[in-house]
Homo-oligomer: A and B are copies of this chain.
């Protein structure tokens, strides 16, 4: 279950690989080379081979990789067979978008329950997910371990504390707040304003084909 040998940079690319292989599978393609993968995913082919090699010799020299075999391998590696339930905290603009977004499409994750502090939203269902009041968080979160946090920045830390109290071990944080958590809880930040600003900075200061 524990696997510390895989570099983090590699681990971050695994879902990308998985989805792309899944697409190839659907298209009926049965073999693929690191070069083709590289062109499609914009990752250097040597990096792809190196990434795969951490899991063993998955390909054949002179041939490439068998799509189905590779896909099956990644399915196991990424635990695609078991579903991961997710709670959404904060049904604002972004939260609503996620409720309507079908994560499950290429993915084993699914938002099972949503919470908001606004009484006018409570009781409604958005994208088939029922919205509960945040006051009832503890009553409805069950043993869900993953949360998407799309609350106002002032609520980020208090809500995080409650989530952790309820047993959540992973948070995808869309608020600008850098939340504090115990070290057995994993947080990934996605800060949309920062991403946009960062893009602009790179455009102005890193001309041509850098990265």
Which chain A residues have a beta carbon within 8 Å of chain B's beta carbons?
A: 1-4, 6, 8, 11-12, 14-16, 18-19, 40-42, 78-79, 84, 86, 92-94, 96-98, 100-101, 103, 105-109, 145-146, 148, 169-172, 176, 178, 180, 183-184, 186, 188, 190-211
Task: Specify the chain B residue showing the minimal Cβ separation from A11.
Answer: B201
Give A92 to B102 CA distance when docked, in angstroms.
13
Give A190 to B184 CA distance when docked, in angstroms.
26
Shortest Cβ distance from residue A165 to the other chain B in the assembled complex, whole angstroms: 18
Task: Specify the chain B residue showing the minimal Cβ separation from A211.
Answer: B8
Q: How many copies does the complex hold?
A: 2
Chain B residues with Cβ below 8 Å from A190 are 190, 192, 195
Give A78 to B19 CA distance when docked, in angstroms.
35
Which of B184, B197, B207 contacts A109 (CB under 8 A)? B197
Question: A1-B204, A11-B206, A201-B14 in contact; A172/B184 too (CB < 8 A)?
Answer: no
Q: Are A176 and B19 in contact (CB under 8 A)?
A: yes
Q: With a 10 A CB-CB cut-off, give which of A15, A42, A196, A203 has the most chain B CB atoms.
A: A196
Q: Are A107 and B196 in contact (CB under 8 A)?
A: yes
Give A209 to B109 CA distance when docked, in angstroms.
23
Chain B residues with Cβ below 8 Å from A169 are 203
Give A73 to B135 CA distance when docked, in angstroms.
43
Q: Are A16 and B109 in contact (CB under 8 A)?
A: no
Give A97 to B193 CA distance when docked, in angstroms.
13
Shortest Cβ distance from residue A187 to the other chain B in the assembled complex, whole angstroms: 8
Chain B residues with Cβ below 8 Å from A183 are 208-209
